[in-house]
Amino acid sequence: MLNSTEFFLAFLISGIVCGVVTPMMKSSAIKFGIVDTPNQAHKTHSGSIPYLGGVAIVIAVLLVSTIGFVALDFTRESVLLAISVLIPALILGLVGLVDDVRQLSPMSRFVAQSISGTFTASLLIITNTVGSPTGLDFLDFAITVFWIVGVTNSINFFDNHDGGASGTVAITSLVLFFLAYDSGQIFIAGLAVILAGACFGFLFWNRSPARIYMGDAGALFLGTLIASLLVRYDPNPIDRLTSFSIPILLLAIPILDTTVAVVSRLRRRKSPFHGGKDHLSHRLMRFGFSRKKTAITLWALTGFFGSLALVISNAPYHLERTLLYLGTFIWIVLIAFFLRQRDE
């Protein structure tokens, strides 16, 4: 079993690699004109910001993961797990890169996400490695596909503010590392800590005021990877409902953001895929928060729900559902609070 020093080293190397590669990607994006220009109503930044930061995240995660496989004399089981989580994420990252350069339609992205989710779900069920199985293969398959597509879109939606998505995924991945390490799921822990390191390395350049964005290449890669890791993770709680809730708690804020935006658009009779200033970040800034305080607030909320997941994972059986109900109540209160703010 790996010790904490080796995990910290993987985290550190991943962060350094991403931190070094990111400015290279920034230069390339500027050279080839791959930039986010504030030419649409839902854009909140004042000047053009280069994309391709997501490519740096992909490079860091794949490079450090590969080094880890070689160093650990990987087995057939670990190779199958790596394929089930890294390959779909890489493919979606490439789709996102094409979207950054050539602007794909929402339907094209949705089809790619569905294929990725189908591949991952099929492989997890064939290898019997779904973290919280229901006992019915068809239901496990449907839940897994829905989860991967939903989370991938949530992270993509959530990438609308300096450091918002990168910081949130960094915190979520770090909490997942502690949960997986504590329960002896070393492979999940290793990939989670590498992902966290890459996100923190990118956050150095992406925090407010952002000098580079991850683009769809990064958002789709992160969304697919974190969704795949969480559906593969086997929670500690004995109670099945609580076990299913752990991954949801870890992504409570991106899910909250998507829920608020979609509900807001539907009640205004707009397409859920139509961009707008109706995300949590936009509402917090209209509430009077600065860009930096908005990002910190989103990170703090992510940290709160992540901490709750950690507490539930180690709580006595009779307290598991009580804590879950508390978290659900707070989440609903947050929905009500944000939906009361004006949409645009």
* pLDDT score of 45: 45
Q: How far is CA 333 from the centre of its chain?
A: 23
pLDDT tens string 245-269: 999 999 999 999 999 999 999 888 8
Sorted by sequence, the CB contacts under 8 Å of residue 64 that are 6+ apart come out as 10, 13, 14, 17, 194, 197, 198
Percent of the chain's residues with pLDDT above 70: 94
pLDDT mean over 220-247: 89
Q: How far is CA 154 from CA 146, 148, 167, 240, in A?
A: 12, 10, 14, 24
For the chain, how far is it from start to end, CA to CA, in angstroms? 52
* pLDDT score of 241: 84
Reported pTM? 0.92
Q: How far is CA 162 from CA 90, 208, 276, in A?
A: 23, 5, 16
Q: Which of 114, 85, 252 is nearest to 180 (CA)?
A: 85
Sorted by sequence, the CB contacts under 8 Å of residue 73 that are 6+ apart come out as none
215 φψ region: left (φ > 0), alpha (ψ -120 to 50), beta (else): left
Please return the burial class of 34, using the count of CB atoms within 10 Å of its CB with bins 0-12, 13-18 and 19+: middle
Half-sphere exposure (CA, 13 Å, Cβ side) for 20?
8
Q: Which of 163, 231, 175, 237 is nearest to 201 (CA)?
A: 163
Domain ranges of the chain: 4-340
Percent of the chain's residues with pLDDT above 90: 60
Half-sphere exposure (CA, 13 Å, Cβ side) for 220?
29
The residue assigned the tokens 């994420």 is: 89
